[in-house]
Amino acid sequence: MSSEPETIDPLDDEQLSRTLVLLYQLSNDAIEQINDLMKTLHLRFAEAALKSGSVTQRELDEALDWIRQHTVVQSRGLIEEVLRRTAPKRDMILWERDQLEPSEQLILAHKPDHPHSETVRSLRTELLLRCKGHRGAAMIALLSPCAAEGRSQLAAELAIAFAQLDRRTLLVDADLRKPSQHRFFGTDNDIGLAQALTVGGPHHFHGVQGLPQMALMTSGDTPQNPLNLLSGRSFGHAIGDWRRNFEFVILDTPPTARFSDALTVAAAAGYALILGRADVTRFAELNEIRRALSATDSMIVGAVINSF
């Protein structure tokens, strides 16, 4: 069996590069060094990775064997298999409240072969690659200009997608204006984020049936001063706690065209994913979110046009 990089065609080289990055957790510095060698010496990724010392020949052989053994696994994809293999082993997480069942609206939870589910998984993979190198949890705030653009559904399904990789995931409904997550999971909304920020004390999490690594924090009763709560010290402390105790935190937010809350949440989270609806959301509205985020410490990790 030959494992020389030059025997791999360009399409397979792209697959191999992603496998090497994820399988051996290559750092941003290592990837940058590899990219420099690719440009200066006209090498493929695997060749440059070997030359830079980022991977050994044995590790390259293992990655090639992994690809060959799993190319038949199409339902979850090669990247998903690698992520499952490298995910730390964990005991079942027991949350403080009842186990909730995702509603039928959350297509990913009930129809894994649906085109929408595949789109969400593809987005998850892109976010995994773009959010590497952070300390603590990758915290992603979802922003969109207006209501009814699919922001809350995508937030819930992204959290489900990360939890399906056995990654410890928290979904937070930070829309303290007109929250939705409690309806997606069929629960009440009497206690949640607003109460945690107002009175302090332990955070109340719901578990999700079939996803022992996922927790949901609803918004709680609508407060009189949402922006003040999200701008206060208590929210900063909560962000710090979540960053230490989870691997991924997905935050739903209210529409940016009406409220400033989402920008505050995105600034605290560090990552922002912008969403618009096809044939509804205007480009100028999305561009305004980008402009507003440029004044914060939040990094835009992607923009999604929702057609479902």
Domain ranges of the chain: 5-86, 99-306
> How sure is the predictor about 60, in pLDDT bands with cuts at 50, 70 and 90?
confident
CB neighbours of residue 201 within 10 Å: 8
Q: Are 141 and 298 in contact (CB under 8 A)?
A: yes
What mean pLDDT, rounded, does the chain reach?
Answer: 84
Paired sense of beta strands 206-208 and 99-100, if any: parallel
CA distance 186 to 31: 43
Residues of the chain with pLDDT > 70, as a percent, come to 83
Residue 129 pLDDT > 80: yes
Model confidence pLDDT, tens digit, residues 251-293: 999 999 999 999 999 999 999 999 999 888 998 999 999 999 9
pLDDT of residue 261: 96
Residue 193 pLDDT > 90: yes
Q: Is 250 left (phi over 0), alpha (psi -120 to 50) or beta?
A: beta
Distances from the Cα of 190 to the Cα of 6, 74, 175, 201, 233, angstroms: 60, 42, 14, 15, 23
pLDDT of residue 134: 65
Beta pairing partners, 173: 252
Q: Are 189 and 220 in contact (CB under 8 A)?
A: yes
Output the 3-class SS for 149-189. Answer: CCHHHHHHHHHHHHHCCCCCEEEEECCCCCCCHHHHCCCCC
- Between residues 190 and 183, the one the model is more confident about: 183
DSSP H or E run through 95: none
Residue 188 pLDDT > 80: yes
Pick the CATH number of 99-306 from 3.40.50.1820, 3.40.50.300, 1.10.3730.10, 3.30.70.270: 3.40.50.300
Lowest mean pLDDT among 90-104, 244-258, 266-280, 292-306: 90-104
Model confidence pLDDT, tens digit, residues 212-242: 899 999 999 999 999 999 999 999 999 999 9
Determine phi and psi for 52, rounding to 5 degrees. -80, -15
Q: What is the SS3 assignment for 117?
A: helix
pLDDT of residue 76: 46
Query: 0.85 cut: is pTM over it?
Result: no
